[in-house]
Amino acid sequence: TGVELDLEESPNSVRLSSFDPVRRYIAKLSLERLIKEDKFQPENIEKVVVQIKGEIEREIKKEGERIALEAGLGGLSAGIIDLLGRFKFRTSYGQNLAKHSLETVNLAGYMAAEVGGDVELAKAAALFHDIGKVATSDSDEPHDVLTRKILERFGFPEKLVNAAASHHDREEKKSVEAELVYIADAISGSRPGARYEDIEGYVKRIGSLEDIAKSFPGVEDAYAISAGRELRVIVKAQEIPDEQAKKMAHDVGKRVRDEVITPGGVKVVVIRESRFEEQV
């Protein structure tokens, strides 16, 4: 299956690792069936994996058809249906791609109706806007770029392709529908509880905040607290006077704003402490 299997230290626990969520799902179901049957001979393992792959292919097709139907789109090719079906297995910051895409479809459709736009175009572009995230190629290109390539390959009109592929501003939005897809995508992704940050991204962001503060001369230490919503910078009182400490808060804040993506903003607090001691 191309999935790495690790036996965890805790009892009755196995970890499956793969960048491809469909492969992980195939491995999970295969392993569960093998455990249930208690047959781990090589020929039986291969047989079970082949069976599970067939079942997943049918599940992907069924899911793709369901998503297309719910979005109100008919006459889609088998290749597009296959890609839509893979939305079920893909998440972005914890938000399921199928649910996010259908939510974006509804929002874009409602807004298009309100402003007199092309409702069908807006809904189709909204459905396809993240299709590049399920591309099976090994390309390192951004998903919106892959979205354009996929839709062009399947012969969709340029107006729809642009409306779907311009939601990250890598290309100019050339229609009202493109703007509506951008807005709908942002609303769906930013509503409270829709997404959460993966632990690796969180640790990297916290480290970046502290590193920025520590790069300033006269800084003794820095701590990102409250899940990265506050950055406390401790300066050396003998080197940094009050006025410079005030300016440092502004300068650190500017660099954080320019260099780190910070959902909800970050409060920068510079602490300059003088201590006077006397031994008696």
Give the DSSP per-residue string, 239-265.
Answer: T--HHHHHHHHHHHHHHHHHH---TT-
Q: What's the CA gap between 138 and 2, in Å, rounded? A: 14
3-state percent breakdown (helix, strand, coil) of the chain, nearest 5: 60, 10, 30
Please check whether residue 62 is in contact with residue 93, taking contact to mean a CB–CB distance below 8 angstroms: no
**CATH code of the domain covering residue 126:** 1.10.3210.10
Of 44, 52, 63, 60, residue with least CA distance to 3: 52
How many structural domains are present in the chain? 3
The 10s digit of each residue's pLDDT in 187-237 is: 887 665 555 555 556 667 888 899 999 999 999 989 887 767 889 999 999
Whether 99 and 168 map to the same domain: the answer is yes
Higher pLDDT: 147 or 25? It is 147
Instruction: Kindly state whether residue 280 falls inside one of the protein's structural domains.
Output: no
Where does residue 88 rank: exposed (0-12), middle (13-18), buried (19+ CB within 10 A)?
buried
Instruction: Kindly state whether residue 278 falls inside one of the protein's structural domains.
Output: no
The 10s digit of each residue's pLDDT in 142-170 is: 889 999 999 999 999 999 999 999 998 88
Instruction: Kindly state whether residue 64 falls inside one of the protein's structural domains.
Output: yes
Q: What's the CA gap between 145 and 112, in Å, rounded? A: 24
Please check whether residue 231 is in contact with residue 266, taking contact to mean a CB–CB distance below 8 angstroms: yes
Beta strands in the chain (DSSP E): 4-7, 14-17, 91-92, 95-96, 219-225, 230-235, 267-272
Residue bearing tokens 């229609």: 175
- pLDDT band for 9, please (50, 70, 90 cuts): low
Alpha-carbon 53 to chain mean position: 26
Domain hosting residue 39, numbered range: 1-89
Instruction: Kindly state whether residue 279 falls inside one of the protein's structural domains.
Output: no
Higher pLDDT: 255 or 10? It is 255
Position 21 scores a pLDDT of 81
The encoded tokens of residue 160 equal 């729809």
Can you tell me the mean pLDDT for 53-61? 94
Domain boundary among 176, 196, 216: 196
Domain boundary among 177, 196, 215: 196
Instruction: Kindly state whether residue 26 falls inside one of the protein's structural domains.
Output: yes
pLDDT at position 138 over 70: no
Instruction: Kindly state whether residue 71 falls inside one of the protein's structural domains.
Output: yes
pLDDT at position 106 over 90: yes
- Judged by DSSP in three states, 47 sits in helix
**For the whole model, what pTM was predicted?**
0.64
Domain boundary among 135, 165, 196: 196
Whether 176 and 204 map to the same domain: the answer is no
Instruction: Kindly state whether residue 34 falls inside one of the protein's structural domains.
Output: yes
Position 1 scores a pLDDT of 62
Higher pLDDT: 30 or 15? It is 30
